[in-house]
Amino acid sequence: MSQYWTDIVNKLDPYIPGEQPQDQQYVKLNTNENPYPPSAKAIQAIDSYKKDKLKLYPDPESTLLREALAFRFNLQKENIFVGNGSDEVLAHSFQAFFKQQKNLLFPDLSYSFYPVYCGLYEIESTTIPLNENFTINSADYNIDNGGIIIPNPNAPTSILMPLSDIEKICRESSSVVIIDEAYIDFGGETAIPLTKKYDNLLVIQTFSKSRSMAGLRLGYAVGHAALIDGLNRIKNSFNSYPVDSLAQVAAVASIKDEPYFQQSCQKIIQTRKKATEDLQKLGFTVLPSAANFIFVTHQTRGAQQLYAELKQAGVLVRYFNKPRIDNYLRITIGTDEEMQTLISTLHGLLT
């Protein structure tokens, strides 16, 4: 609190990211990072970048990166916007599309940054409760609205919504619909092809999860050229160079390395299957996941206590002290070895 703060700063309720402890080595399963390294080609691209060129500003349009993404999705570069992490792309999208007379809609349990952006940009919102089993009922979104945003798969529940439901929501809404596909590559089908059919649909993805580049900060939006133009107007009124030169070359190389991308996504999916079975044997209910994390609750042992005991034993998972989910843990899928450590630690705690 300071006398120099503006009203809006006083009112903000900032996002609290998952712990990034510096004090000790944890088995870190709390922030949905990928346990595998980025593509060797991406690392090579950074290594061979002429460092002398860092004295120059990066390409403000990230042209080569947008072309590479457009090629992958069979679109034009005019359909692609890139930014400093999908958090930045989301923030610009809220400002570009969601400050409307009518309320923005999003699920009551979803990415906890959405209400923070609403606070920052003074956007009114209505949260739509998930069903009892944490699935989304698409019909609930067929009400008057100033925009809709849904993560798919949803976070932190990990549950995937069928593409047919997304199409229904786009068809019925006259405002912008954003599908936040941060976790789509771990078992879902992207809504990107639907952007050709619905000019109100914007799909946002990230390099942080399936491409193992959370540290580079890269995200992108895909949609009709008019939506992308709107985002560019915000970006060019905020920061002309959000994506640095090294991030641009590494991202292009990563996109061109499709086999590695497929292989590391498949590895996470296999590990998720095994971890799910092992946790079920220990008395956990595991929601059906299409993400690189699972959302679990135990028959008898409270989640908050388990979170603390796991941390004490050197295994970090995520606990949300929020209504409806305060007896759940969100566990990122790590390597097979990391998951084995989790399982044996839990075995010790529960038996």
Evaluate whether 296 touches 281 at the Cβ level (below 8 Å).
no
We find the least distance from the C-beta atom of residue 1 to ligand PMP, in angstroms, to be 28
Binder to ligand PMP among 62, 86, 103, 292 (CB under 6 A)? 86
Q: Which of residues 229-268 bind ligand PMP (CB under 6 A)?
A: none
Binder to ligand PMP among 145, 206, 254, 289 (CB under 6 A)? 206
Binder to ligand PMP among 35, 38, 85, 147 (CB under 6 A)? 85
Distance CA 232, CA 93 (A): 10
Binding status of residue 151 toward ligand PMP by CB under 6 A: yes
Give the number of other Cβ atoms within 10 Å of residue 215's Cβ: 11
Ordered strands of the 318-319 beta sheet:
284-286, 293-298, 329-332, 318-319
Binder to ligand PMP among 208, 264, 292, 332 (CB under 6 A)? 208
CA 138 to chain centre: 20
Binding-site size, ligand PMP (CB under 6 A): 12
We find the least distance from the C-beta atom of residue 221 to ligand PMP, in angstroms, to be 11
Binder to ligand PMP among 33, 87, 278, 338 (CB under 6 A)? 87
DSSP label at 64? H
Beta strands 219-223; 80-83: pairing state: antiparallel
Binding status of residue 332 toward ligand PMP by CB under 6 A: no
Distance CA 264, CA 187 (A): 12
- Return the exposure string of 275-304: e unless at least 16 CB atoms fall within 10 Å of the residue's CB, then b: bbebbeebebebbbbbbbbbbbbbeebebe
Distance CA 120, CA 178 (A): 18
Binder to ligand PMP among 111, 186, 198, 295 (CB under 6 A)? 111
- The DSSP H or E segment spanning 16 is none
Tokens of 107: 């699920």
Q: Which stretch binds ligand PMP (CB under 6 A): 81-89, 140-148, 316-324, 330-338?
A: 81-89
Distance CA 150, CA 88 (A): 16
Distance CA 205, CA 218 (A): 9
Nearer to ligand PMP, 58 or 107 (CB): 107
We find the least distance from the C-beta atom of residue 255 to ligand PMP, in angstroms, to be 15
Binding status of residue 296 toward ligand PMP by CB under 6 A: no
Q: Which of residues 180-199 bind ligand PMP (CB under 6 A)?
A: 180, 182
Binder to ligand PMP among 214, 246, 269, 313 (CB under 6 A)? 214
Binding status of residue 120 toward ligand PMP by CB under 6 A: no
Q: Which stretch binds ligand PMP (CB under 6 A): 82-90, 125-133, 269-277, 296-304?
A: 82-90
Q: Which stretch binds ligand PMP (CB under 6 A): 46-54, 80-88, 192-200, 320-328?
A: 80-88
We find the least distance from the C-beta atom of residue 214 to ligand PMP, in angstroms, to be 5
Range list of H helices, 196-257: 225-235, 245-256
| Interacting residues with ligand PMP (CB under 6 A) | 85-87, 111, 151, 155, 180, 182, 206, 208, 214, 219
